Amino acid sequence: MDNHCRTMLCTAGLVFLLTVAAEAGVGPGNSSSLCPEAKECLQFDTICKTSGYEVRHYGPSRWVSTDAEALFMEVGTTVAFRRLFSYITGANSDGAIIDMTAPVLVKIPAEKRLKPTVYTLSFLLPSAYQENPPIPTNEKVYFTDMPDMTVYVRSYGGWMLSLTSRLHSHLLKKDLNSVQASYNSTYHYGAGYNSPRRLFHRHNELHHRHTKELVEKIRPPEEMVSASVRWSVFAQTRLALFLMDTCVHPRWSDHITA
């Protein structure tokens, strides 16, 4: 990729990050999206993409969550799924029946061999319940507010299992390390977009959240910052250039996809 193309990509990423609106990212699903089975789906904007992963921006969103401790992810998420399904089918203060959304999100801590792990399963609340969802009747069910964030995403098919999750986390981290990307390695998220009834053509994702350590590392001397607005623009500019560089790094320049 020549310098002109790289500059154009970085400029596009910069404009995107400086203008993106921080709104709750819940919108309609459809047959051409990742959510053909759900009425509403978590929305995002793609910053850039390579053959191995993509960089996305998500706005703030609210989820209903529960924790389950288990030796294997499959066992923990089964217990957690039943609790959350009860919540959306009436086990709440309003007795409301709440539509299922996509994806279902599971927070997976860094691997602990042969030790029980706490897995957090979350359902995305529909747009009608993002502001004032009914209170769960089960004390083990609670709400999680996800902040505005940038995420590295690797997609794969089949079923989201402990083995496949570890494999794709390893592959994604290998790709990110090769371009010196900054990400949270203490946990990752698994995102499942299909119901258990769908046996084929399934879509799963593995998410590593981008960390903002880079912003601190490239913070200019205090005398250069006369106002918080100037610093905000500076930080977002450098962050945009860095994120785009993870997609147009020389090692990946031959694998950029549209």
pLDDT by residue for the chain (258 residues), tens digit each?
A: 433 333 334 334 444 444 444 454 888 876 557 888 888 999 999 999 999 999 999 999 999 999 999 988 999 999 999 999 999 999 999 999 999 999 999 999 987 777 899 999 999 999 999 999 999 999 999 999 999 999 999 999 999 888 898 899 999 999 999 999 999 989 999 999 998 888 888 999 999 999 864 333 333 444 434 444 444 444 455 555 556 556 755 344 333 333
How many CB atoms neighbour CB 24 within 10 A?
19
* Tokens read off for 237: 């500019």
Rounded Cα–Cα distance for residues 170 and 156 (Å): 13
How many CB atoms neighbour CB 91 within 10 A?
17
Q: Kindly list the domain boundaries of the chain, sorted by start residue.
A: 1-258
Topology of 1-258 in CATH?
Multidrug-efflux Transporter 1 Regulator Bmrr; Chain A (3.20.80)
SS3 state of residue 145: strand
Rounded Cα–Cα distance for residues 72 and 87 (Å): 24
